[in-house]
Homo-oligomer: A and B are copies of this chain.
Amino acid sequence: MEIVLSPTVKDVAREARVSVGTVSRVLARNETVNPGIRQRVEEVIARLGYRPSSLGRSLRLNKSDIIGLIIPDITNPFFAELAKHLETLASAAGYSVLLANTHDDPKAECKQVQSLLCRVPAGIVIAPVSGSLVGGILPDGLVSVTIDRPLTGHSLVAVDNFEGGRLAASHLLELGHRRIGYISGPTTTDVSIQRLNGFRGRVEEASSDRAQDLVQLTVLEGNFDYKSGEAIGRKLLQGNVGRRPTAIATANDQQAIGLLRASRDLGIRVPEDLSIVGFDDIPLASLVLPRLTTVRQPIEEIAEIAIRALLGSGPIVGPIALRPALVERDSTAPPPAC
């Protein structure tokens, strides 16, 4: 398929009876071009109404005004929000965003990044997959910002996931829950491990604080999606009222929404019989029934820091850990009396 957005540099070259290279040199104001030829080329450019594309400019500067955004999944509302904020900020600065989904596959990620590098981006924003191989192929000098998930040797902008896990645990413990479940993300990803470790650490502190009132914690691993929350929720909620958890925390809001679904199907009322805490605070969290108590990530702030690093202040030195916040809504309450 050949697309011609006429007139092209070739049309100019043909009309002016010079090579494409000569037209390029005229456009680049290269002094080596014979003045007579320069005048002829400029006349043809004016007559044909030729305008050099940004591709040509990019080639001359050896960079483009494209920002690459590499994320696991655009249908995860957290990444969709992030993409929207990044794109809005980039667009205001005259840059465009190239979107690449990696579907949490290191090989797909490598292919996407290689294809992106061929376009010589002004910079990239990446939320790497677990086991990412990308660290090895990013060229020196390319400004990149790693968000959400770390990449060895690159500085990370992310919420303090460990602290976020602690906040969720503290909230449930303060409400009086002692049989608690936790649905983690894939334990191959750092973000999952940090949230889980924060949560578990806070629960263990509480257990050692009060030996007579031991906290029982069941952890099951899932993916960061609705289905996983629903399926693992069902497993955690098997068994009778006296044995199953009275509260479950999840590693993201999508899992929590899937868990709400499972609870409803099993006839378990939220928050009367079961408290649920999510993570992220996607817009949907305040809309589902009941409204979700969750740990808020400052998505807009992450986008702003990333864009500033790419377009203004230069590479980020050292990791930036943003503060999470517990947002208390209607999905948590004290455990049932029994």
Contacts and interface: CB of A to CB of B under 8 A. Distances in A.
Interface stretch (A173-181, A183-191, A253-261): A253-261
A32 B19 contact: yes
Contacts of A8: 62
A284 B258 CA distance: 9
Q: Which of A4, A24, A141 has the most CB of B within 10 A?
A: A4
A211 interface: no
A284 B226 contact: yes
B77 A101 contact: no
B287 A55 contact: no
A77 B84 CA distance: 12
B120 A5 contact: yes
A303 interface: no
Given A63-B3, A139-B5, A226-B284, A118 B83 contact: no
A219 interface: no
A169 interface: no
Interface stretch (A40-48, A86-94, A192-200, A235-243): A86-94
Given A53-B62, A56-B59, A88-B103, 5 more contacts: A9-B59, A87-B100, A97-B98, A230-B287, A264-B290
Interface of A: 1-6, 8-10, 19-22, 24-25, 30, 32, 53-56, 58-59, 61-64, 66, 69, 73-75, 77, 80-81, 83-84, 87-88, 91, 94, 96-101, 103, 111-112, 115-120, 122-123, 139, 141-143, 226, 230, 257-258, 260-261, 264, 283-284, 287-290, 311-312, 314
